[in-house]
Structure 1
């Protein structure tokens, strides 16, 4: 019972944080702040956002492990992918953005590809989190 409640809470916090960031925070920052300030702000926010995802997905994985090992594995993979996004892809995106802003024409398409990859991976993580949350909230009879 306690693990079930903990998994539901951590999954809701995970998915809620992802949706809030994508639907509210990012659009608001880029529509209300000048582009250079928005970029700097988001760059500072991403490491914290990724830590939130790692913590909530990791907690969900631990809470789900005894009763739902497949869902626990899915959440562990979300956490591991987020760790790679935070430590690997995001620094690369930042370097490419800096290079493009400094006038490196070759960096812009590479930045666009890396950024698109991060968005697609984040969307995939959201879908996995939503699926696991729904399975946990409404298990089959």
Structure 2
């Protein structure tokens, strides 16, 4: 069970880092702004679903051997639900309305949440050592 928990946590960490610092940055750098925005809007719901499912699975797999690690992973899974269901639509609505100050604030909150989540998953991963 510990090996599966390690693999699930590593998959979650790697996926979050790759998406946040690889895929999104690549699109913004190499695609026209409108096309990058369209692709990111299509990809983010899937990314958030991945984080919810992988985070919950990793938490459940980790629970028998490390309650703290499981809690960290569970926090990531649970906090991704409002990010997907509330924050992301609000960001899109602010963008569509041309409300740049609101968009910047909401996007900043989303980025901050994502960074905190990556740190929490990294912490859970380091607890395997």
TM-score (norm 2): 0.97
Q: What is the aligned counterpart of 1:19 among 17, 20, 28?
A: 17
Runs of 4+ aligned residues of structure 1 deviating over 6 Å after TM superposition are none
- Matched with 1:50 is 48
Q: Which runs of 5+ in 2 are unaligned?
A: none
1:48: how far off? 0.6
1:32: how far off? 1.2
Distance 2:122 2:74 in 1: 14
- State the superposition RMSD in angstroms: 0.8
SS in 2 for 1:47: helix
Higher gyration radius (CA): 1
1:63: how far off? 0.6
Tell me how many residue pairs correspond in the alignment.
129
- Matched with 1:94 is 92
SS in 2 for 1:67: coil
TM-score (norm 1): 0.89
